[in-house]
Structure formats: C-alpha cells, structure tokens
Amino acid sequence: MKATVSGVLGIFSHMDVLIEAITKFRGEGRTDITVYTPTPRHELAHAMEEKVSPVRLWTLIGGLTGCTTGYLFTSFVSLDWILPTSGKAVVSLQAYTVIAFELTILFGSIFTIMGIINHARMFRKRTLPYDDRFTEDKFGIFVPCGEGDYDSVSSTMRDRGAEEVSCG
Amino acid sequence: MKEINFPYKDINRDILRSLEKPGLLYVAIVSMVVAGVIFGGYCWGYQLVKGMGVAGLNHPVGWGVYITDFVFWVGIGHAGTLISAILFLFRARWRNAIFRSAEAMTIFAVMTAGLFPVIHVGRAWVAWWLIPYPNQRELWVNFRSPLLWDVFAVSTYFSVSVLFFSLGLVPDVAVIRDKAKGLRRSIYRYIALGWASTTEQWRHYMAGYGFLAALATPLVLSVHSVVSWDFAVSIVPGWHSTIFAPYFVAGAVFSGMAMVVTILIPFRKIFGIEKYLTPWHFDNMGKLIVLTSTIVSYAYATEYFIAYYGDDPFEQFIFWERTFGHYALPFWLMVICNCIVPIPLWFPKVRRHLPTFFVLSIFINVGMWFERFNIIVSSLAQDYDPFAWGWYVPSWVEMGITLGSFCWFFMWFLLFIKYFPAMAITEMKEIADPPMKHASAGHMEVA
C-alpha cells in the first residue's frame, strides 16, 4: 500500500543501534518519529519516553457501565414481571450481584478492545511507509519530512546505523 | 530460559511451518474427527425427531450425560484462560510457548460446552428463551435462578475469551500477512486489522492486553463457581455444599491442564517444534496438575468429613451409596484417576518423561469426566424419598453425542492450527534476546 505521509524510513538490524538513533532523534526535538519493532520491548518504550496508555480509562468506564447495567436491568425486569417466590424479595440484589459481576467483566472487556482499536488506530488504511520485515527481525524508524529534506535526513539516518534507507 | 532463546527469524520460520500444506497424517486425523462429528450430529438429529425418550433420562435422573458433558467441557476451557491471563499477570515466562494453544482450546471447549444445554432441553428451537429480551408475552427470565446465572457466566466467559484470544492473534496474523502472497495475503491483511507493529500500537495493545488479563482472572474463577452453584444452591443431598465453588474451580483447572498436555505432546512431535515446547514446559504444567489434584483430593475427603460431621442422615447415605452402591464404579474411577494416578507426577523425572505424562493425562481426563457423572447422577438417583429412586444408564444416543462432542472439539483445534500459528510468535520473541550489535548476551551478531 502506498504511503500518504512523506518522509524517510530507516531499517535497522540491531536494537541497541536503533535505541541510540531514537535517543539522538528525540534529543534533537524530533518527537514525531515512528518506530517499528517485531515485538514490544521495555527498552524501546523508555527510549520513546512513552506515557501511560489511556486505554485504562476505557476499561474503567466499561466496567462501571456493566456493573450499573447488571443491577438496573435485573431490578427492572423483576419489577416489570413480578415473580413471587416464597418469602424472597422481588428485587434480590444478592442474586443479581452474579449478573452485575459478569456484565462488569463483559462490558469492561468490550470497552478495552474498543479503546485499543481507537488509540492504536486499527481498522484504518496505512498512511506511513512500512516494510514486511518489521514483523520478522528488523526494526525501523520513520521520520516525516518534506522532499527537500530527504537527503539530509537520509544521511543522518545512515550515520546513526540504518542499514537501508528509503524516501517517499 | 536459554533453551528457548532463538533468533527472531528462526522463530517466524519454525512456528509458521505448521501452516504449510498438510501431510497425509493430518488429513487422515481430520477425516476421522469429521466422521465423528457427523455421527454425533446424526444422534442429535435422531433425538430431535424421536423426542427425549431416546436419551436415558427419566424420573428421577433428569440430568445425565448431557449435563456431565457440559460441566466437563466448561472445565476443560479453564486451563486456557488460566495460562493466558493468570500466568501472564504473574509473569510466568513458560506460558509464552503454550498459551496460544491453550486459549484456542478454551474457545473450542466452551463452544462444545455451549451445545449441551441446547441438546439437553430437547426442544432446541426454543433454547433462546433463556436470553432476556422484550417479548409479546411480557415475560422475563428469572434472575434469581442459578441456571440463568450460568447463561450469563458461560456466555460472558466465551465472549471475553474470544476477545482476548483474537486480540492476541492480531500481531501474529500480521506476521503471516507479511509472509503470504496473493489471495492469502489479502485475506490475512483484513484479519490483521491494520497492524503495523509500531511502538505506539504496542503501547496501547500491551496496556489493553494487561487489563483484559486482569478482567479475565476473576472471570475464570467465577465461571466454574457459578456452574457449581447450579448444584450447590439446590437442596439435593451431595450437592448442597459450600465447598463446591473452589472444588469445581480446582477440578476445572486440573482437567484443563491435563487436556493441554494431552494435545501438546503429540502436537510438538507432529510439527517438529520440540525445541520450543520443551520438557521444562511440561514440568511446569505437571506441577500445576499436582497442585490441583491435591486440592481436588482434599475436596473429596472434605465432602465425606462434612457428611460425617454434619450428622445429616440423607447426606451420609448418599456418600455411602456413592462409594459402595449402584454407582460405585464411576466413583472409584474418579478416585483412582484423579487422586492416585497423578501421584507419580510429584517426581520431576515423570513430569519430564513425556510418553508417561501423556498416558497419565488421558487417565486424568477420564477421571474428571467420571467425577462430573458421579456428582450429577448419584445424587439424583437416590434423593430423599426411596419411593422415587431410579437408576440411570446412558443410551447410545447420549454416548454418540458425547463422542461427537470430543470430535467436534478436536476438529476445531486441528483446523485452527492449519490457519493460525498455534504458538505466539511475538511473545516467543519477547522472551528471546533481541539482536544486539554491542551486547554479550543471546544470539549476538559480531561483525
């Protein structure tokens, strides 16, 4: 798929070289770089100075929604069609706790997935250059820049250990 | 850990090998299990046409093999989430090689379990009345019933397991996508959901994965607890017990781990991935089996103690009858397979001797099926009133459907391993040393 954002893509074989390159780019104020890695690594997260993901808020909102729905829905249906059973309360909150618990987990999970899809920008067309080897054993850095800066950024990328550099 | 530390490229190549064109052995096994599924389907069709009379169920034993199968299969599904969620939170690195297969097993086991309430109700076409929805009769389901808790617990467990499993698959599907060509590439591109393997994606993915694991952990403990309350909340002797929830959960993990072992030992051999699934993994699984077997054995003993100490003649009678009465055979099979057979697994040599472990795991599976049968049938057959007693013998239809359910479960698993990696590629890379130019560990590449 053709990339729609222009810039320079560098491919790296070694993680320590990649981390050095990230540190230098970020040291120069280039916080708009995109880094590719076959597997998540704490070292890369530190180099990218990653913040805590907002996905946790989705989980919290989902869980609270599920719990509330569980109690309200069961109470509503019990009052809508009253089923007297010996001396038991029509609205039996203890019994409904099981349903509320299950819906807390269910809604929390669904909202978490929605949060990941939203923040990780899944289900969207790729706009940045990509190399199939990023899911195998190669790492990458993409620096967005205009056509006029291709030469200088490519040269910097090579100086910082990139084994292959492509522009576009 | 060094024993499963391989270069990233080798991990891709070795794990994706299971997706290559299948051999004759694979085709033969798939044909056999498909034949079993067809036979099971025929038996169910026969029951639908002729009515529930063709099953051995009758007064007073209204719950028989179908509910036994239901509880058994829900239990089998417990190991997957235990391995993928609980061991993930504990950062047990040995899970990385086995959790994908175990998770797949969970999905297929719960899919199998879900068939049985539908089969059991007889008129399968009205099974959806269990779902609460606004209807013209203005009726609602009874949320005070443990049977309805079960509907919510099992369907939530299935939904969350599918979400957790699918999320875990995404980066690995991207690996297949990037290796594939033509139509295959287009298909996997859609399933990969636009995964690009950037640190930004990994950041949100890992955070969400952790939260899903945290949500799945209480869920896995709750599901079999809720299943156990189907029995424990009633006042039937032998069922009405407060220890049922932990007892069932331990039994579920016990049977699930045994099934993982039963599947993975031949799997590693057939696909030549012995260097990824080592005796070290089976050693750890064996320890969990030993632990849960001990809990289950303790629970069996506690049930007897409660019956003795509680001084309830009905309770005492049912436990005496289970041991020496009409259903003594399933009881003793249960005790031998679940309490005595696992004893050799206390020794590391046995846990690491895979042919022996494989045989023991099959005995445990058999024992756990009979445990459910023993609990369900023996209590119903001899309730409070001797006038109402009656014996239950499963019919060929019930056993045919049971056989079909095993084939159904294995069929899905066999199909899965041909289209998706049965080991998590990215998580195997996580525990491998990354390629470094200036480091001294792992598969360092020195110029």
* Cα gap B283→B273, rounded to integer Å: 17
Of B200, B178, B193, B208, give the one whose Cα is nearest residue A35: B200
A140 within a domain of the structure (yes/no): yes
A93 within a domain of the structure (yes/no): yes
Closest B-chain CA to A18: B436
The whole domain housing A72 covers: 55-119
Please check the confidence at residue B84 and state whether its pLDDT lies above 90: no
Nearest to B194 among A63, A102, A123 (CB): A123
Local confidence band at B446 (pLDDT 50, 70, 90 cut-offs): very low
Q: What is the pLDDT of residue B445?
A: 42
Please check the confidence at residue A167 and state whether its pLDDT lies above 80: yes
Residue B196 forms contact with A (CB below 8 Å): yes
Please check the confidence at residue B351 and state whether its pLDDT lies above 90: yes
Cα-to-chain-centroid distance, residue A59: 13
What domain count does chain A have? 2
Q: Which residue has the higher pLDDT, B160 or B18?
A: B160
Cβ distance B101 to B414 under 8 Å? no
* Cα gap A166→B212, rounded to integer Å: 38
Same domain, A96 and A134: no
User: How confident is the model over A136-146, as a mean pLDDT?
Assistant: 93
pLDDT, tens only, A27-50: 988 889 999 999 999 999 999 999
Please check the confidence at residue B134 and state whether its pLDDT lies above 70: yes
The two tokens of residue B428 are 């195997």
Query: Across the interface, do A134 and B175 touch by the CB < 8 Å criterion?
Result: no
Nearest to A135 among B142, B175, B203 (CB): B175
Query: Across the interface, do B153 and A73 touch by the CB < 8 Å criterion?
Result: no
Please check the confidence at residue B1 and state whether its pLDDT lies above 60: no
**Nearest chain B CA: its distance from A15 CA (Å):** 6
Cβ distance A13 to A163 under 8 Å? yes
Same domain, A107 and A132: no
> Looking at the predicted complex, does its ipTM rise above 0.90?
yes
User: How confident is the model over B378-388, as a mean pLDDT?
Assistant: 92
Helix (H) or strand (E) holding A7: strand A7-12
Q: Which of A127-141, B81-95, B281-295, B339-353 has the lowest mean pLDDT?
A: B81-95
Residue B133 forms contact with A (CB below 8 Å): no
Residues of A in contact with B197 (CB under 8 A): 36-38, 134-135
A29 within a domain of the structure (yes/no): yes
Pick among B5, B14, B88, B144 to test the A interface (most A CBs inside 10 A): B144
**Nearest chain B CA: its distance from A148 CA (Å):** 26
Local confidence band at B97 (pLDDT 50, 70, 90 cut-offs): confident
Cβ distance A168 to A129 under 8 Å? yes
Q: Which residue has the higher pLDDT, A126 or B63?
A: B63
Residues of B in contact with A21 (CB under 8 A): none
A2 within a domain of the structure (yes/no): no
Residue B322 forms contact with A (CB below 8 Å): no
Local confidence band at B356 (pLDDT 50, 70, 90 cut-offs): very high
Kindly give, in sequence order, each residue whose CB lies less than 8 Å from that of residue B65, ignoring residues fewer than 6 positions away. B55, B56, B373, B394, B398, B399, B401, B402
B347: left (phi over 0), alpha (psi -120 to 50) or beta: beta
**Nearest chain A CA: its distance from B80 CA (Å):** 17
Residue A39 forms contact with B (CB below 8 Å): yes
* Single-letter residue type at B443: H
* Cα gap B169→B247, rounded to integer Å: 32
Same domain, A94 and A108: yes
Q: What is the pLDDT of residue B3?
A: 59
Q: Domains, chain B, ranges and CATH?
A: 2-131+140-430 (1.20.1630.10)
Cβ distance B148 to B196 under 8 Å? no
Same domain, A133 and A85: no
Q: What is the pLDDT of residue A61?
A: 98
Helix, strand, or coil (residue A166): strand
Nearest to A55 among B7, B211, B434 (CB): B211
Tell the residue number behind the tokens 């597997």, with chain if given: A39
Same domain, A37 and A88: no
A1 within a domain of the structure (yes/no): no
Q: Which residue has the higher pLDDT, A2 or B350?
A: B350
B136-155 residues touching A, CB cutoff 8 A:
138-144, 148-149, 152-153
pLDDT, tens only, B196-249: 999 999 999 999 999 999 999 999 999 999 999 999 999 999 999 999 999 999
Residues of B in contact with A106 (CB under 8 A): 156, 159-160
Residue B12 forms contact with A (CB below 8 Å): yes
pLDDT, tens only, A8-18: 999 999 999 99
Q: What is the pLDDT of residue B146?
A: 93
Of B13, B274, B439, give the one whose Cα is nearest residue A137: B13
Give the 3-state DSSP-derived string for chain B, with helices as H, strands as E and coil as C.
CHHHCCCHHHHHHHHHHHHCCCCHHHHHHHHHHHHHHHHHHHHHHHHHHHCHHHCCCECCECCCHHHHHHHHHHHHCHHHHHHHHHHHHCCCHHHHHCHHHHHHHHHHHHHHHHHHHHHHCCCHHHHHHHCCCCCCCCCCCCCCCHHHHHHHHHHHHHHHHHHHHHHHHHHHHHHHHHHCCHHHHHHHHHHCCCCCCEHHHHHHHHHHHHHHHHHHHHHHHHHHHHHHHHHHCCCCCCCCCCCHHHHHHHHHHHHHHHHHHHHHHHHHHHCCCCCCCCHHHHHHHHHHHHHHHHHHHHHHHHHHHHHHHHCCHHHHHHHHHHHHCCCHHHHHHHHHHHHHCCHHHHCHHHHHCHHHHHHHHHHHHHHHHHHHHHHHHHHHHCCCCHHHCCCCCCCHHHHHHHHHHHHHHHHHHHHHHHHCCCCCHHHHHHCCCCCCCCCCCCCCCCC
Please check the confidence at residue A114 and state whether its pLDDT lies above 70: yes
Same domain, A98 and A150: no
Q: What is the pLDDT of residue B307?
A: 94
Local confidence band at B447 (pLDDT 50, 70, 90 cut-offs): very low
Q: What is the pLDDT of residue B440?
A: 55
User: How confident is the model over B127-150, as a mean pLDDT?
Assistant: 88
User: How confident is the model over B328-342, as a mean pLDDT?
Assistant: 97
Burial category of A68 from C-beta neighbours within 10 Å (exposed 0-12, middle 13-18, buried 19 and up) = middle
A99 within a domain of the structure (yes/no): yes
Query: Across the interface, do A40 and B200 touch by the CB < 8 Å criterion?
Result: no
Q: What angle do CA B227, B94, B192 make, to 5 degrees?
A: 80
A133-162 residues touching B, CB cutoff 8 A:
133-137, 161
Number of helices (H) and strands (E), helices first, in chain A? 5, 4
A41 within a domain of the structure (yes/no): yes
Same domain, A61 and A102: yes
Same domain, A144 and A131: yes
pLDDT, tens only, A61-113: 999 999 999 999 999 999 998 888 888 889 999 999 999 999 999 999 999 99
Residue A106 forms contact with B (CB below 8 Å): yes
Cβ distance B282 to B258 under 8 Å? no
pLDDT, tens only, B252-284: 999 999 999 999 999 998 888 888 999 999 999
Please check the confidence at residue B6 and state whether its pLDDT lies above 80: yes
Q: What is the pLDDT of residue B439?
A: 61
Same domain, A60 and A110: yes
Please check the confidence at residue B329 and state whether its pLDDT lies above 90: yes
Cβ distance B76 to B255 under 8 Å? yes
Q: What angle do CA B17, B21, B27 make, to 5 degrees?
A: 115
Nearest to A59 among B197, B211, B219 (CB): B211
The two tokens of residue B99 are 């959790």
Of A50, A59, A24, A66, give the one whose Cα is nearest residue B202: A50
A31 within a domain of the structure (yes/no): yes
Cβ distance B69 to B116 under 8 Å? yes
Residue B421 forms contact with A (CB below 8 Å): no
